[in-house]
Structure 1
Amino acid sequence: MRVILKETIDTLGIVGTECTVAPGYARNYLFPQGKAIAATPQNRKVIEQARAKFDLQIAKEKKLAQEMAEKVKDIKCTIKAKVFEEVRLYGSVTSHDIKAALDAQEVFIERRSILLAEPIKEAGEYKVPVRLYKDVEPEITVTVEPEEKTD
């Protein structure tokens, strides 16, 4: 089913674009939430008339993302984890752990925006990209340190 997005959706596209989605997804989620409209000739004309408004919204969203990127790129996040053999972790550090550490620093980023290719399994310092907008991906520094042993 062809729909025209009324909001930017990470997995589909930016506002004003036309894309193909499953009919159930459109009917049960996009239409009731007001995130999209059916791609009919009438709706295409309405969207073309509102194109300037969408372009302004896109520019505003991108500017906000770039401002956030300037703040985020200097963030250093430290996570304590249990280790054996000095560097290997018992478990692993995932995007959930990174989000929790960022939340503790009052930096609120969606978990799915943290682009961790695979879980971190060794202590050390890592650069992890964060997608704030389509082409705005600053890197944060994540340091995994051994947890202090209490005997």
Structure 2
Amino acid sequence: MEIILKQDIKSLGEKDDIVNVKPGYGRNYLIPQGFGALATPSAKKVLAENLKQAAFKQDKIKKDAEGIATRLADVKLSIGAKAGETGKIFGAVNTIMIADALKQQGFDVDRRRITFETEPKFVGEYIANLNLHKEVKVKVPFAVVAE
């Protein structure tokens, strides 16, 4: 019995896979629980069309991310923070500050997509990693300056 999976199942397959299962497992567990649907010829055509459209959307998102990445290549940010005499920052420089600085430069990047190579604890130069897409990653240098 062929089933189209609607979600990932650890021992069986991933979402949108067509798998062969025993009829009782498909009828009594997968279909009633909403984990799968019968793989009829019409359902297979719908699945193929959905996968084609999803691939097109992902390709567009990736191209947009690559465009942003090329524009971010020559950007250097400056983040102001209160610091002591030794250069140690009071508080923390976080991803929200980086996202705000990027927004001021005209880039709209979600703060959850920003990570640091090393946490900024002192005044100085650091690198922020921007994960714009699963295949497009950019390193943006930034300087933490004392206010």
TM-score normalised to the size of structure 1? 0.66
Q: Tell me the distance in 2 between the aligned counterparts of 1:39 and 1:104.
A: 46
Aligned length: 118
Stretch moving more, 56-65 or 122-131: 56-65
Counterpart for residue 141 of structure 2: 141
Provide closer, same or farther for how the CA distance between residues 83 and 57 of structure 1 changes in structure 2, counting only shifts above 3 A.
Answer: same
1:59 and 2:56 matched: no
RMSD of Structure 2 on Structure 1 (CA)? 2.7
Q: Tell me the distance in 2 between the aligned counterparts of 1:49 and 1:102.
A: 37
Provide closer, same or farther for how the CA distance between residues 70 and 87 of structure 1 changes in structure 2, counting only shifts above 3 A.
Answer: same
Q: Tell me the distance in 2 between the aligned counterparts of 1:67 and 1:116.
A: 22
Q: Tell me the distance in 1 between the aligned counterparts of 2:128 and 2:90.
A: 21
- Radius of gyration: which is bigger? 2
Q: Which runs of 5+ in 1 are unaligned?
A: 5-16, 20-36
Partner of 2:92: helix, strand, or coil? strand
Counterpart for residue 41 of structure 1: 38
Counterpart for residue 82 of structure 1: 82
Counterpart for residue 28 of structure 1: none
Residue 140 of structure 1, CA deviation = 0.9
Partner of 2:102: helix, strand, or coil? helix
Residue 112 of structure 1, CA deviation = 0.4
Task: Supply the AA of the counterpart residue of 1:92.
Answer: A
Q: Which runs of 5+ in 2 are unaligned?
A: 8-13, 17-33
